Amino acid sequence: MTYLDAIAALADPTRRVIIDRLRSGPLPVGAIAKGMDISRPAVSQHLRVLSDAGLLTVTPEGNRRLYAIAPEGVDALRRYLDTLWDDALAAFARAATEKAKENKDD
Amino acid sequence: MTYLDAIAALADPTRRVIIDRLRSGPLPVGAIAKGMDISRPAVSQHLRVLSDAGLLTVTPEGNRRLYAIAPEGVDALRRYLDTLWDDALAAFARAATEKAKENKDD
DNA sequence: ACTTACCGTAAGTCATGACTTACCTAGATG
DNA sequence: CATCTAGGTAAGTCATGACTTACGGTAAGT
């Protein structure tokens, strides 16, 4: 049930910016914060939330810490949305056929 | 870019409960609020957020208003996560090969 | 027509969380 | 060993948003 935290984590625009910066590959905290209009500690806190949600992995590299997108975390979210998608389509189709039946009864 | 609001909308646990109640088909507001531990107006406000985000459709039916999951809204989110997934996998593979090259140099 | 469901909106309260600055620890470097 | 860089943590501030009650408006039933 880790996808619950993943959705909440992705809800913040700043955190989506961070995720976007990591799309091309792992980065240390400083590089992520560079050019963003919030302080480095704020970025650190966001990174904490994202990794707690299973969306990022951390690998200490000497002095620094490299953050990278965790494919499994993203996949958990995708699976949740897939079931939602399936149910939505099924409900949609069912409502459509019931509507057609109604009209026939007129 | 409607998926941005969709993520924020799904971030709230109460709204996910509402979505889950609609998985089996459209429901009026009263039926959704029934059994939930918040007031009906609160449910109304959540429904507003969800439909603004493109996740729900509303169809007035005489006295009531039927809310249903909008497949297109869910799909927008799925597409966003798909691109994220692709980038994450690519970055992961790239990091792995670079790591292997590093080890070879030792 | 009067009343009774059904539902959205307004205004106000209160908690959550996204920032800030200040501080501290752990590796790299001279 | 001294210092500098990289980065996590603590405490406090402030805005956002999730509730509440109160109210208004429209369709159905009598």
Rounded Cα–Cα distance for residues B2 and A66 (Å): 31
Which residues lie below 8 Å from residue B38, measured CB to CB, with a gap of 6+?
Answer: B14
CATH code at position B84? 1.10.10.10
Query: What is the domain extent for residue B84?
Result: 3-105
Which SS3 state, helix, strand or coil, does residue A63 take? Answer: coil
Which residues lie below 8 Å from residue A46, measured CB to CB, with a gap of 6+?
Answer: A12, A14, A15, A18
In this complex, the answer to whether residue B95 has its CB under 7 A from any atom of chain D, a nucleic strand, is no
In this complex, the answer to whether residue A30 has its CB under 7 A from any atom of chain C, a nucleic strand, is no
Going by the DSSP 8-state scheme, the letter that residue B95 receives in this structure is H
Q: Each residue's pLDDT tens digit in chain A (106 positions)?
A: 578 999 999 999 999 999 999 999 999 999 999 989 999 999 999 999 999 999 999 999 999 999 999 999 999 999 999 999 999 999 988 877 866 655 544 4
Interface membership of A22 toward B (CB under 8 Å):
yes
Residue B106 has a pLDDT of: 43
Residue B69 has a pLDDT of: 97
> Nucleotide D27: nearest residue by CA–C1'?
B63
Residue A104 has a pLDDT of: 47
Residue A98 has a pLDDT of: 64
Residue B104: is its pLDDT beyond 70? no
B101 or A6, which is more confident: A6
Residue B17 has a pLDDT of: 96
Structural domains of chain B, count: 1
Residue A101 has a pLDDT of: 53
Nucleotides of D under 7 A from a protein CB: 5-10, 17-22, 26-28
Query: pLDDT by residue (tens digit) across B38-70?
Result: 999 999 999 999 999 999 999 999 999 999 999
